[in-house]
Chains A and B, each alone.
Chain A
Amino acid sequence: MEELVYEQMKEKIYTETLDNGLKVFLLSKPEMAKTYGIFATNYGSIDQTFIPIGSNETVTVPEGIAHFLEHKLFEKEDRDVFQDFTKQGASANAFTSFTKTAYLFSATNQIEKNVTTLLDFVQDPYFSDQSVEKEKGIIAQEIRMYDDQADWRSFFGTIQSLYHKHPVRVDIAGTVESIQEITKEDLYTCYETFYHPSNMTLFIAGNIEPTEMMELVRKNQGQKSFSPSPEIGRSYPEEPAEVAKKFNSIEMPVTTSKCMVGIKEKVSGLSGKEILRAELLSSMILGHYFSKSGEFYEELYNSDLIDDSFHFETDLDKEFGFTILGGDSRNPEKLAERVKEMLHQLREEKVSEEDFERMKRKKIGQFLRAMNSMEFIANQFTQYHLLGVDLFDVLPEIESLTVKDAEEYLENWIQEDHIAVFQIKPSKQG
């Protein structure tokens, strides 16, 4: 067991890679009542085309299968795993993202039992034709719920405008139609391929004693046998650098239009550290110009092109990357035009030392706030680990950034054919 000490953050992480390949991270926070455990596989909605373990041929599985599998792991032949956690005073949950499927619990007692349950249920799948059919109704309602949410639709609409082929453009839950095709056999294929311990991480944070906890995990994993760790052959379609659709709009029953401007980010060939720096710089720069303290925000707000719903986010990964800005607008055409102009203007912007210091301070404060949450630490640490980056190095990384870094980033960031606009307009009432 290795000890990672982070002096400035006053935190310590214990880590070990077990014989079967599972990476374990433990963060002891005895001042907390709660313990949070997350068991995650490096497998998400974009992993649709791959070579199944024990096979030579590439297959493409139905859209939404990673999320479907997440739902189904909770159901066993004789019981529902939620009940097991309930009996042990814990609350459990799970989520599927573009690149990750994660199972988690939080509890304030019976931690050892809950950790064991977490490991065991994820590593013991049970899928039947009947239970797969039953789940289709539930997930269809989940998809319908999102279909009514204009914010979700505008998020995915923008990504679909940015990407031609890459599966990041597919809704994580799939569609009501695509999930109908899912079979028990598909689920087992995906499970066997992506749920090998060597493709997974376990992070436990909270009121724990690290040595004992590590021993418990080691023992639990030692009792199970796994095939030798496979090399996973994933493939993603060739994706052009420019956007798929520069402009798109749909109608929905909303009172106010929505307008999003998306930027397709260049990520191919970037190292983990470069991705982290790009993510930091992009959020600092967007924050500087487009948050409430920003020159651009002020202009957009005062000219009534945006309201409090205006927001921006950047998501960068090894396989894809995007930035989205926007929100409700009474004049979505004008907003799209102005935001695009502003983004282009960034290339010429000079950043003063004083402004850059403020951008850094803001980012540092934001990071410390996030570090209050054990969920954030556990989720983000494992996410960054996949990229080869250490979450606790973020603070020194921010401190090391210079005005020159920011200006270089600005110079190379925005290109016209990497920008897409997506709007939602109020439908005509019948």
Chain B
Amino acid sequence: MKVNKEQMVEKQGYRLHILPSKKYKTINIVAKFKSDLKKEWMTKRALLPMVLQKATKNHPSARSLQSALENLYGTVLSSDSTKKGENHVISFRMEVANEAYLRTETSLLKQALELFHEVIFEPKVEQGAFDEKIFSREKQTLEQKITSIKDEKMSYANMRLIDEMCKDEPYSLHVHGYLDDLKALDSKELYEYYQHFITNDLLDVYVIGDFEADAIEEMIDGCFTREAGDNTAVDQESPHKHVEEPKEIIEEDDLNQGKLHLGFRTHTTFGDEDYYALQIFNGLFGGFPSSKLFMNVREKHSLAYYAASRFESHKGLLLVFSGIDPNNYDQAKTIILEQMDAMKKGDFTEEEVEQTKELVVNQLLETMDNSQGLIEILYHQVLSKHQIEAEELIDRIRKVTHKEVADVASKLELDTIYFLTSRKEGGEQ
């Protein structure tokens, strides 16, 4: 099997994960900072990566920083904030050409690593605050991002579903932050938070590409140091919340196609014994074009172009989403729930289970062919504190039985149905 093995080394203030691989013509470096999800941090953590990738101590403007990256053979730098279960993760990513394919001999990787370190650890700071101009421009950009969430109907409907479903849980916090918090934020306060973040977040650094592991480690030791405090992140156990009564929420918007999203509680997370069965469940139910949802909502009843499901590995959610004609709400909802009932009753064949196992394994192997995909898979282990080798992961998937899938299905609870539909002509009903 062609699975990359990682070498993990504890360093001063971070963990270094080295992944030598012949698959790529570039080298990828990813730094992942993890903290708890807290309302008061959300806006700051959304803004922070935006400000940091605009300027550094030695490259005081976005243009100068980008020019430096371009000189390093179009090295790409990006950064984002995400929620993973009840954790907040800020990732910095850099992709640099492997010198083996260039006609020139340079110390490309070393220069790129130094720049990467500088972006994260040496921002442009004046009198204990981020550069005022950069700060206020990025603040404006974030404001725009928050107000235009509504323009992207699928992600808006997903956000609204989570709002309603996880109302009093940290998971419902918005990853882009909040307008009120943003308005009140100044560059000094953000810099103060930055200092907290840079010392206290849990940091994992991944390097992947075609190189000698020892040489890379030495190079990173040379330019990557961190004076870290103790990681203060408290491991937030996602409480297994049971549903008393499923909610149904219908909202109106200016749109042609209604967005029907359903949220279920799985009570299963990464590292649990039945996590592998949940993956198969999702594959059978809505993960592939051969799945129940696609076959019934789309192929049999022509109600939708897409009808699918996915699960959140650390929070224990299964989300169903479909784009339908506003008039077909009841029919589509009924079909989706019927398919779920059939799954709970074990109404699927051994053969389907076997096929789905192969599809899930195939998907996993394909994801591991991709450098960013592989890092995301490996990072699950950090998030869940559960170590599992890629081979074992695949092995466990292959061992899932029909009964285990039905069992995991029967644990699923419908929590919320959310429907974003078109405005009714003439206003009132």
- List residues of A whose CB falls within 8 A of some B CB: 8-10, 29, 31-34, 80, 82-83, 85-92, 106-109, 134-139, 141-142, 144-145, 147-148, 150, 207, 253-256, 291-295, 297-298, 301-302, 304, 307-308, 328, 330, 358-359, 361-366, 368-369, 371-373, 395, 399, 427, 429-430
Cα-based distance from A399 to B38 in the complex (angstroms) = 50
The answer on a CB contact under 8 Å between B74 and A91 is no
Which B residues are CB-close (under 8 A) to A85? 290
For this complex, 15 residue pairs linking A to B, each with C-beta atoms less than 8 Å apart, are: A10-B100, A29-B23, A32-B23, A33-B1, A33-B368, A80-B299, A82-B289, A139-B305, A141-B324, A253-B254, A293-B70, A298-B61, A307-B141, A365-B75, A372-B23
Binds A, one of B90-98, B216-224, B411-419: B90-98
Question: Shortest beta-carbon distance, B304 to chain A, in Å?
Answer: 5
| Complex CA–CA separation, A87 to B3 (angstroms) | 23
- When distances are taken between beta carbons in the complex, the residues of chain B under 8 Å from A371 are 25
Least CB distance from B71 to A in Å reads 5
Chain A residues lying within 8 Å of B369, measured Cβ to Cβ, are 32-34
Please indicate the chain B residues that have their CB under 8 angstroms from the CB of A90 in the complex. 362
Closest 8 CB pairs of A and B: A365-B74, A137-B302, A293-B66, A253-B254, A89-B358, A362-B74, A86-B290, A365-B73
Minimum CB–CB distance for B108 against chain A, Å = 9
How many Å lie between the Cα of A368 and that of B75 in the bound state? 11
Q: How far is the CB of B134 from chain A (nearest CB, A)?
A: 10
Contacts of B133 in A (CB 8 A): 302
A147, B71: Cβ atoms closer than 8 Å:
no
Q: Flag if B148 contacts A256 (CB, 8 Å).
A: yes
Nearest Cβ in chain B — how far from A349, in angstroms? 17
Q: How far is the CB of B12 from chain A (nearest CB, A)?
A: 31
Given contacts A89-B358, A298-B63, contact A141 B257 (CB under 8 A): yes
A174 to chain B, nearest CB (A): 14
B residues 88-136 touching A (CB-CB < 8 Å): 95-98, 100-103, 133
What residues make up the interface of B, taking CB atoms closer than 8 Å to A? 1-3, 21-26, 61-63, 66-67, 69-76, 95-98, 100-103, 133, 137, 140-141, 144-145, 147-148, 150-151, 153, 253-257, 288-290, 295, 298-299, 302-306, 323-325, 355, 358-359, 361-363, 365-366, 368-371, 423
Do B144 and A31 touch across chains, with their CB atoms under 8 A apart? Answer: no
User: A72 to chain B: closest CB distance in Å?
Assistant: 12
Cβ distance A332 to chain B, nearest Cβ, rounded Å: 14
* Docked complex Cα distance between A10 and B102 (Å): 12
Assess the A106–B298 pair: CB atoms within 8 A: no
Question: Closest Cβ of chain A: how far from B355's Cβ, in Å?
Answer: 5
Q: Would A138 and B73 count as touching, CB distance under 8 A? A: no
Residues of A within 8 A of B323 (CB): 141, 144-145
A364-B362 in contact (CB<8A) = no
- B98 to A, closest residue via Cβ: A368
**A10/B73 contact (C-beta < 8 A), A89-B359, A148-B257, A301-B62 known:** no
Chain B residues lying within 8 Å of A364, measured Cβ to Cβ, are 73-74, 97, 102
| Complex CA–CA separation, A136 to B362 (angstroms) | 32
Which chain B residues lie closer than 8 Å to A304 at the CB level?
Answer: 137, 140
**Are B66 and A292 interface neighbours, CB within 8 A?**
yes
Knowing that A89-B359, A137-B302 touch, tell me 19 more A-B residue pairs with CB under 8 angstroms: A9-B25, A83-B290, A108-B366, A134-B302, A141-B305, A144-B257, A145-B257, A148-B257, A293-B66, A293-B70, A298-B63, A302-B133, A362-B74, A365-B26, A365-B73, A369-B76, A369-B95, A372-B371, A373-B370
Taking CB atoms, residues of chain B closer than 8 Å to A135 are: 302
> Does A91 contact B288, Cβ atoms closer than 8 Å?
yes
**Contact indicator A365/B148 (Cβ below 8 Å):** no
Residue contact A254 to B148, C-beta cutoff 8 Å: yes
Contacts of A10 in B (CB 8 A): 100-101
Is B362's CB under 8 angstroms from A91's CB?
yes
B148 x A328 contact (CB < 8 A): yes
